[in-house]
Structure 1
Amino acid sequence: MRFLSCVVLIIAVAAPSQAQWKLDDAFKPAKPADLEDVKSTPAPAAAIVLFDGTSLGKWVKRDGKGEVKWTLKDGAMEGVKGHGDIITKDTFGGRFQLHVEFRVPYEPTGQGQGRGNSGVYLQGRYEVQVLDSYGLKSGKNDCAAIYGIAAPTVNACKAPTVWQSYDIEFAAPKFENGKKTEPAVMTVHHNGVKVHDAVKVTTDNTTSGLGGDPATPGPIMLQDHGHPVQFRNVWLLPVKE
């Protein structure tokens, strides 16, 4: 009887996590394509591969020192609630293109920011929001928003549990004699759809960013917001000025 009780307990604990990656009959997609994973984009030869599905060796915790203990499974890394944000060991300045593939869990009872919440931060300071915003009218805090700055022009979300992609063209702010002359600029494609076109980022640190001197390079940061969001195939391509 004691052994049986342990087995039942293990199943009960594991079941909620598994359920988050399976849609139920209550979910009604707007169109079949919303249930199709985005096609994965291989890294170009000149790209810096930040995550290839096999190792978290290029990442550390937000403090810049701690070992990353996010879960590795099936070629993806999954955020672990309470572990905290993770950043790349390397920092990046100037102009670059960042490619990230992600998927959000199915959390139908969540409200607002409580559904598959995470974020991709450029230089650790400028966030492109990750959220389950499927079927919603997008705002400045929804999926693919430049958080708090600009809503995506189109809601290009796929259904939760389905792989999606960001391709973000980023230009760091410019400074002369310690004075900012140009703000950071971002163009974002979400699942191949352009949702931001050369948007000027009107702050030097969006909510929960790393802050620091905006004239200096910064890492890529992936946010732990308490939800098991997954990421795969993360690479960065420097662009010559």
Structure 2
Amino acid sequence: MRKVKFIFTALLAGGFYMAQAQQNAKPEDTEIYEPVPPKVTPGKIEYKSAPSDAIILFDGKNLDAWTSVDNGGPAQWTVGGGILTVKKGTGNIETKQKFNNYQLHIEWRVPANITGTGQARGNSGVFLASIGKGDAGYELQVLDNYENKTYTNGMAGSIYKQFVPLANPSLKPGEWQTYDVIWTAPTFNEDGSVKTPARATVIFNGVLVENNVTLLGPTQYIGKPSYSIKHGASPIKLQAHGDKSEPISFRNIWIREVR
């Protein structure tokens, strides 16, 4: 009995110290700076039309496929000239439709007149699965990293704070860039434990930067990731980061479901 009591007390103490450590965590605890991914000059980037079986999420005309994350109302970002641009103060947007496994194509552009440094230089994100308000979900980072140093697991092409990109094929601000993503959603057991973790492959401007990586859980700004939220099919979310740099634009967004 005394042995059982000791083990129980030890488990309680261990849980307490783990909770304390998480509570005292800082953003820089999970930042990686070395090694730096090699710079790669990508081939010519061309507008890639959607295949016949694709679901068009943005064709340059309207935001009918999107909704506001904050209030569930209409998405309020700006549409003009075939381009979707973050509108400051309106928050993140996400697709009305939910997805499990898919192939995603999305094009994005950092303004030519971008200012700021580090994470405050064209910051946005593509959440491959949105699982709540704010920045809850699995983020593929969007950032100007043409000549902008930051922590390597926060560069463009990174699975934010989890996987450093294999290369840096970033183009100059003002040029359109592309992500092609293969996403395999996580699955869960009845008790909420992970049955199979999420996986992602990312091709950035025609260059492989994430090779079927196994995610450790939803991405987090502070603390280590873990699968603490059981979920099913989820929307895709675009981030309005809220920093002072010029807003990011997107175009030509389509998806093919993989069954």
Task: State the TM-score bracket (shorter-chain normalisation).
Answer: 0.7 to 0.9
Give the deviation of 1:214 after TM superposition.
Answer: 3.8
Residue 202 of structure 1 corresponds to 216
1:188 maps to which of 202, 212, 215: 202
Tell me the residue number matched to 1:101.
Answer: 107
Cα displacement (A) at 1:64: 5.2
RMSD: 2.4
Choose 1 or 2 for highest CA Rg.
2
Contact 2:114–2:173 under 8 Å retained in 1: no
Partner letter of residue 222 of structure 1?
A: L
State which of 116, 128, 139 in structure 2 corresponds to 1:127: 139
Corresponding position: 1:166 with 2:179: yes
C-alpha spacing 1:186/1:54, structure 2 compared with 1 (3 Å): same
Q: 1:48-101 CA deviation, whole Å, 9 max, x = no partner?
A: 1100000111111113522222111211100011111001111111x2111100
Deviation for aligned residue 1:109 = 3.9
TM-score (normalised: structure 2): 0.73
Aligned to 1:112: 118
Shift of the 108–54 alpha-carbon distance from structure 1 to 2, 3 Å rule, reads: closer
Deviations 1:169-219 (A, max 9, x none): 0001122333212210000000111000011110234449xx994431110
* Residue of structure 2 in register with 1:60 after alignment: 67
- 2:90 partner amino acid: H
**CA distance in 1: counterparts of 2:128 and 2:71, whole angstroms:** 16
Q: Aligned partners of 1:121 and 1:203: how far apart in 2?
A: 13
- How far has the Cα of 1:107 moved from its partner? 4.8
Cα distance change on mapping 1:158 and 1:66 into 2, 3 Å: same
Q: Which runs of 5+ in 2 are unaligned?
A: 1-38, 131-136
- Give 1:141's match in structure 2, choosing from 154, 165, 180: 154
Q: Are 1:219 and 2:225 counterparts?
A: no
In structure 2, distance between residues paired with 1:78 and 1:152: 25
Cross-structure match for 2:52: 45
Number of corresponding residues: 206
Give the aligned residue type for 1:218: S
The offset of 1:140, in angstroms, is 0.4
SS of equivalent to 1:140 = helix
Secondary structure at 2:139's aligned position in 1? strand
2 CA distance for matches of 1:135 and 1:111? 10
State the AA in 2 paired with 1:130. Answer: V
The alpha-carbon deviation at position 136 of structure 1 amounts to 4.8
% identical equivalent positions: 39
